[in-house]
């Protein structure tokens, strides 16, 4: 019983930690106005955390005021090709590469 509560608390904490630098925040807006390498890395990060961000954003819509900041799936202030490419690469490759490597180690 304790481990399941601890696991749930850890999952919630991890989700909040991952989305702390998600699109919509002031840190993200600052990075969106930097040079193209920063925009590319920002896009990769937002693509990697996109599944978690989507879940938190949907939860925030149904339960308003649960988190103290606005969260969005995509940074609209980063209007550059570098951010778009990074987002696409992070969305397509980030989580799948980690899962594939973990599965290989388990088998």
Contact 32, 42 (CB under 8 A): yes
Place 19 in a pLDDT band, splitting at 50, 70 and 90: low
Number of domains present in the structure of the chain: 1
Domain extent at residue 59: 2-106
Q: How far apart are CA 84 and CA 44, in angstroms?
A: 9
Q: What is the pTM of this model?
A: 0.66
Contact 73, 23 (CB under 8 A): yes
pLDDT in tens, 54-66: 888 888 888 887 7
Nearest of 74, 56, 76, 75 to residue 66 by alpha carbon = 56
In this predicted structure, the answer to whether residue 29 has a pLDDT above a threshold of 60 is yes
Place 101 in a pLDDT band, splitting at 50, 70 and 90: low
């Amino acid at each position: 019983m304790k481990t399941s509560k601890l696991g749930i608390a850890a999952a919630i904490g991890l989700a909040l930690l991952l989305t702390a630098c998600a699109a919509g925040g002031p840190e993200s807006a600052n990075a969106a106005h930097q040079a193209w390498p920063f925009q590319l890395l920002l896009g990769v990060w937002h693509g990697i955390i996109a599944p978690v961000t989507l879940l938190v954003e949907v939860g925030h819509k149904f339960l308003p005021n649960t988190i103290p900041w606005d969260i969005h799936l995509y940074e609209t202030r980063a209007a550059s090709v570098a951010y778009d490419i990074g987002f696409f690469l992070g969305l397509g490759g980030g989580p799948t590469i980690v899962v594939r490597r973990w599965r290989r180690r388990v088998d």
